[in-house]
Amino acid sequence: MLKKSLRIIGINPGTRYLGIAVFQDWDLLDWRVKLLEGKWSKKKIDRVIDMICEYIELYDLNTIVLKKLHPSRSSNNLRLLVSRIKSLAVRKKIKVYEYSIKELEEIFINDERHNKKNLAEKMVSDYPCLIHELEKEKAHKNRNPYHLRMFEAVALGAACFQKQLA
């Protein structure tokens, strides 16, 4: 049984987009994709860290959940960003968890074919307020899976909460 409320930020890190979802326990409070404009630089990383700090303060967060990077599909810049996020968590005394997409699919998608689209649909079934985001994603015909980043962030936060209850 949980003694203290979990206040979670799920982060799907990227060098161009950042998927974010904020939870208090199972309740989804905020969700979005942040566009990270400009060339990759120390200044850009600092902006991302500042953005995450704002969420931590605004929602009094005590848990960060990150999408686990795939070793062959991630750049040095992305690894650096994740490292900085983890360092921020240590400084702020915030717990950090990581889940891979495969782990999220195993948690949320039962007998169906595991893919990101099915994961997004499962998040909509659990959080109906996300239906408009799914419709936007379908309208783009997956040319740029912009909104899927946000659905993955939602799945990260929800998975963390479920695992903490177990």
- pLDDT tens figures, 35-62: 999 999 999 999 999 999 999 999 999 9
- Position 16 pLDDT exceeds 50: yes
Q: Is the C-alpha dihedral spanning 142, 110, 154, 102 positive or negative?
A: negative
- What pLDDT, on a 0 to 100 scale, did the predictor assign at position 115? 79
Q: Is residue 36 part of a domain?
A: yes
Q: Is residue 138 part of a domain?
A: yes
Strands (E), the chain: 7-12, 17-24, 27-35, 63-67, 95-99
Q: In total, how many domains does the chain have?
A: 1
Distance between terminal CA atoms of the chain?
A: 9
Q: Is residue 153 part of a domain?
A: yes
Identify the three-state secondary structure at position 17: strand
Domain coverage including residue 67: 7-165
| pTM of the model as a whole | 0.91
- What pLDDT, on a 0 to 100 scale, did the predictor assign at position 136? 77
Question: Residue 110 sits in a domain of what CATH number?
Answer: 3.30.420.10
Q: Is residue 2 part of a domain?
A: no
- Position 4 pLDDT exceeds 70: yes
How far is C-alpha 117 from the chain's CA centre? 16
Q: Is residue 1 part of a domain?
A: no
- What pLDDT, on a 0 to 100 scale, did the predictor assign at position 1? 47
Q: What is the mean pLDDT of residues 13-34?
A: 95
Q: What is the mean pLDDT of residues 120-144?
A: 82
Q: Is residue 64 part of a domain?
A: yes
How far is C-alpha 98 from the chain's CA centre? 10
- Position 70 pLDDT exceeds 90: no
